[in-house]
Structure 1
Amino acid sequence: MKKRKIVLSFIISFILVNNSFANDMKSLDTVTVTAQKMEENIQDVPVSLTVFDEFAIEDRNIKSVKDIAQYTPNFTIFNPGDWGTVAPSIRGLYSDVAMTSSTVSMYIDGVPTQSTMGYDAVLEDIERIEVLKGPQGTLYGKNAEAGAINIITKKPNNETKGKIGLEFGSDNKKAYTFNASGAIIKDKFYVGVSGKLYEKDGYMTNKYLNTDHNNRKSKYGKVNLRYTPTDNLDISFISSKHKRDDGALSVNKATAQNLKEVNNDVSDFAKLESTAHSLKIDYNFGQYNLSSVTAYKKDHDLRFADYDYSTVKSYHSLMDVTYENLSQEVKLNSQTDTLTWLAGIYADKSESKGGTTVDSIYPSMRARGNQNTTEDSSLGLFSHANYKINDKLSILGGLRYDIDEKSLTDKKTNTKLDMSYSEISPKLAFN
């Protein structure tokens, strides 16, 4: 009898706990994402997806792309030497940082980052971060073999608000952040601004020059202008600039006994300047939505390293590379109870110029310098549809056609190479 009472009590407790859990589940808010280039409930997106809303971003103190990787399974950031150029990896697939081309496309307010240069961006006043895992070529095209990252800035509105942040830490670390937004003309014109100042002493010293070796400094600012002349039209212009000085490469000779000291005859430096602009226009008419994103991004990477780690000028390397990208995307989408579809066109043009110059007392070492110019033009046509067969089953399909033209000019050998590619990327999924 006693055993029956125990079993009965356990069953009743189990039922009560499950009912309570079910009630809590029903009260969860709907999470809206734009992983498939349109607003959808995250539960309806058949993609391996990690999402951070503004509360998760603040709770986890996510301030850069490197911070995202710490809280995202199967996502890693390789940062050799702790400099601004990084190599993102999802599920173990990545491109070497020296190749500059990334396997994980990142879009900040529609501005594409497809290079390892300027990838470790500052994240301030962010509404949502979406990390898509697995090939995303059908919707995102090139440089999305491993995945894609969407980062969306908060939209300023009629509410006037602001925030100031102060952060202090070891090695004389200091970080100052701020953001503010509100309406200039109620219900029509809004503005948002944000910024960050950061500095930190390095942990290495140059004993030969008696100077600090790898101090860090950075400045960041962003302006967000939004105009809503009618209920159906939403226009946003976002402009940002990031200047960072990462000091010297945080490595030493493999045989060094003291990893906090070097004896270089010159001071190393690594300076990266990134500028980004995006103009987004959304127009809604009935059940259709027309969207246009015009984006421009420029990265200038200037760095000098004494790779011989000695007082002899045997291998001094100066890298000076500038990368520019101009892109345009236009898409039309519609959503009904049974069918969701999207069609669009994407075009971009990019140029990378510069290279590495090696200075040395040995003539054979100086000959390793190079100066290249790479130009890339691409055009992509894409479509995507999700048909709901019944309450439990839906089928999703997509198709993309890309044309990519590349040219490489090698000034050292006075040669030019031209290549063109075309590819069809299909997708089929059941949910």
Structure 2
Amino acid sequence: MSAANPAIADEQTKQSINLGEVEVTANKISENLKDVPQSISVVSDTELQERDVKNVEELVKTMPNITGVGGMYEGISTRGLNPSIYTSSNPVTVYVGGVAQSNKDAAYIPVTNIDHVEVLRGPSSAIYGKDSIGGIINIVLKEPTNEWSGSVGAEYGSHKYMLGLFEASGALIDDKLFLGLNGSASKEDGWIINDLNGDKANDKKNYNFGLNLKIVPTDRFTVKIYGDLFHRQDDSLDELFIPKSRFGNISKSEAKHINLETPARVKQTSSSGALDLKYEFDKFDATSATTFRRAKKRRALRRGFW
């Protein structure tokens, strides 16, 4: 019987480990993750599916040192920096397809057609502007290729919760014109009943639709066009003013019934787009990025009591 040489075994172990390279673009250029002197986490689309992540709020809840919250105090917090309850400012900026979702409502954006997500912790205002003092969540979308591919998914749960989503992409003209489409829609009846009219008091409805277009007129010139439409309607218990005398000791069975004199509703819509141009010279690349986003949010005040 012979004993293995520890030095040889250790060398064989080192040779068998290949971590590979992870490319990130969070600093506006493509870099190897191990070469970036910053705290960065990268989450792949496979990991998003395994974690059952549906939106940005759920994503950040799976990340260390960063937290997403909903309801009255919606927003994203990190390292002691919190969103303002008086304004729409948020210490973490969310980018989707290169478009900044600058206010705190970005927590509700659905996560669909994602290639990977880059989470940068720490001040990034020098590159991304004043609202990025806490960090960046950069959602990188999948780019269509010559081969057509796609997926369809659906879920059903308690309180008539339903979710449907799809994505499809491919080449309309090989190597020249590419198209990608994706979308999702969900609804939930909720569990709180308004005894004044018998309707549910915390139902939710959401949908979004996205488009990716890639045009390659020449081997050196590339045009990318991205667009997205998002709608959210939320009747949430978090928007209710609970009597101070009951705050902290009200049970779920008691909260299940409420009397609302006026509808309690938050409606949020946003549309965004991006135009990216890239020309590859012999020794350098010239790029241009133009983005657009328009958002609306309306709240219906409510008066209620238990």
Calculate the TM-score normalised by the size of structure 2: 0.90
Of 269, 274, 291, the residue aligned with 1:273 is: 269
Q: What residue is the counterpart of 1:295 in the other structure?
A: 291
Asked if structure 2 preserves the Cα contact closer than 8 Å seen for 1:74 and 1:92, the reply is no
Structure 1 residue 14: Cα displacement: 8.9
Deviations 1:331-359 (A, max 9, x none): xxxxxxxxxxxxxxxxxxxxxxxxxxxxx
2:17 matches 1:39: no
Larger Rg: 1
Q: What residue is the counterpart of 2:68 in the other structure?
A: 77
Q: What residue is the counterpart of 2:17 in the other structure?
A: 25
Of 58, 65, 72, the residue aligned with 2:56 is: 65
Q: What residue is the counterpart of 1:144 in the other structure?
A: 132
Structure 1 residue 286: Cα displacement: 2.0
Amino acid at match of 2:266: A
Q: What residue is the counterpart of 2:146 in the other structure?
A: 158
Deviations 1:176-208 (A, max 9, x none): 110101111111001000010101121211122
Question: Do the aligned partners of residues 59 and 24 (structure 1) sit closer, same or farther apart at CA in structure 2, a change above 3 Å counting?
Answer: farther
In the alignment, the residues of structure 2 paired with residue 170 and residue 287 of structure 1 have an alpha-carbon distance, to the nearest angstrom, of: 58
1:375-394 to 2 correspondences below 5 Å: none
1:399-418 to 2 correspondences below 5 Å: none
Q: What residue is the counterpart of 1:221 in the other structure?
A: 209
Asked if structure 2 preserves the Cα contact closer than 8 Å seen for 1:249 and 1:305, the reply is no
Asked if structure 2 preserves the Cα contact closer than 8 Å seen for 1:209 and 1:266, the reply is no
Q: Secondary structure at the match of 2:159?
A: coil
Q: Secondary structure at the match of 1:229?
A: coil
1:141-290 to 2 correspondences below 5 Å: 141-250=129-238, 251=240, 252-254=242-244, 255=246, 256=250, 258-290=254-286
In the alignment, the residues of structure 2 paired with residue 286 and residue 55 of structure 1 have an alpha-carbon distance, to the nearest angstrom, of: 36
In the alignment, the residues of structure 2 paired with residue 40 and residue 235 of structure 1 have an alpha-carbon distance, to the nearest angstrom, of: 21
Question: Do the aligned partners of residues 229 and 14 (structure 1) sit closer, same or farther apart at CA in structure 2, a change above 3 Å counting?
Answer: same
Asked if structure 2 preserves the Cα contact closer than 8 Å seen for 1:118 and 1:274, the reply is no
In the alignment, the residues of structure 2 paired with residue 227 and residue 21 of structure 1 have an alpha-carbon distance, to the nearest angstrom, of: 45
Question: Do the aligned partners of residues 211 and 21 (structure 1) sit closer, same or farther apart at CA in structure 2, a change above 3 Å counting?
Answer: farther
Of 110, 128, 135, the residue aligned with 2:98 is: 110
In the alignment, the residues of structure 1 paired with residue 208 and residue 47 of structure 2 have an alpha-carbon distance, to the nearest angstrom, of: 22
Amino acid at match of 1:205: I
In the alignment, the residues of structure 1 paired with residue 300 and residue 265 of structure 2 have an alpha-carbon distance, to the nearest angstrom, of: 5
Structure 1 residue 118: Cα displacement: 4.0
In the alignment, the residues of structure 2 paired with residue 288 and residue 193 of structure 1 have an alpha-carbon distance, to the nearest angstrom, of: 31
Question: Do the aligned partners of residues 42 and 261 (structure 1) sit closer, same or farther apart at CA in structure 2, a change above 3 Å counting?
Answer: same
Structure 1 residue 70: Cα displacement: 2.2
In the alignment, the residues of structure 2 paired with residue 15 and residue 66 of structure 1 have an alpha-carbon distance, to the nearest angstrom, of: 48
Asked if structure 1 preserves the Cα contact closer than 8 Å seen for 2:166 and 2:182, the reply is yes
Question: Do the aligned partners of residues 143 and 35 (structure 1) sit closer, same or farther apart at CA in structure 2, a change above 3 Å counting?
Answer: same
Structure 2: unaligned runs, 5 residues or longer? none
In the alignment, the residues of structure 2 paired with residue 41 and residue 198 of structure 1 have an alpha-carbon distance, to the nearest angstrom, of: 37
Asked if structure 2 preserves the Cα contact closer than 8 Å seen for 1:277 and 1:297, the reply is yes
CA RMSD of aligned residues (A): 2.2
Amino acid at match of 1:56: E
Of 123, 131, 134, the residue aligned with 2:111 is: 123
Amino acid at match of 2:243: K
Amino acid at match of 2:277: I
Question: Do the aligned partners of residues 264 and 29 (structure 1) sit closer, same or farther apart at CA in structure 2, a change above 3 Å counting?
Answer: same
Q: Secondary structure at the match of 1:117?
A: helix
Structure 1 residue 267: Cα displacement: 2.1
In the alignment, the residues of structure 1 paired with residue 57 and residue 282 of structure 2 have an alpha-carbon distance, to the nearest angstrom, of: 41
Q: Secondary structure at the match of 2:197?
A: coil
In the alignment, the residues of structure 1 paired with residue 95 and residue 75 of structure 2 have an alpha-carbon distance, to the nearest angstrom, of: 16
Structure 1 residue 125: Cα displacement: 0.7
Asked if structure 1 preserves the Cα contact closer than 8 Å seen for 2:116 and 2:141, the reply is yes
Structure 1 residue 21: Cα displacement: 4.2
Percent identical pairs in the alignment equals 28
Which structure has greater strand proportion? 1
Large movers: runs of 4+ above 3 Å: 11-16, 18-21, 248-254
Structure 1 residue 12: Cα displacement: 5.2
Amino acid at match of 1:35: A
Structure 1 residue 162: Cα displacement: 0.8
Asked if structure 1 preserves the Cα contact closer than 8 Å seen for 2:276 and 2:287, the reply is yes
Calculate the TM-score normalised by the size of structure 1: 0.65
Structure 1 residue 164: Cα displacement: 0.4
Deviations 1:72-92 (A, max 9, x none): 1101012234xxx82211112
In the alignment, the residues of structure 2 paired with residue 127 and residue 62 of structure 1 have an alpha-carbon distance, to the nearest angstrom, of: 14
Structure of greater relative contact order (alpha carbons < 8 Å, 6+ residues apart): 2
Deviates more, 1:242-251 or 1:225-234: 242-251
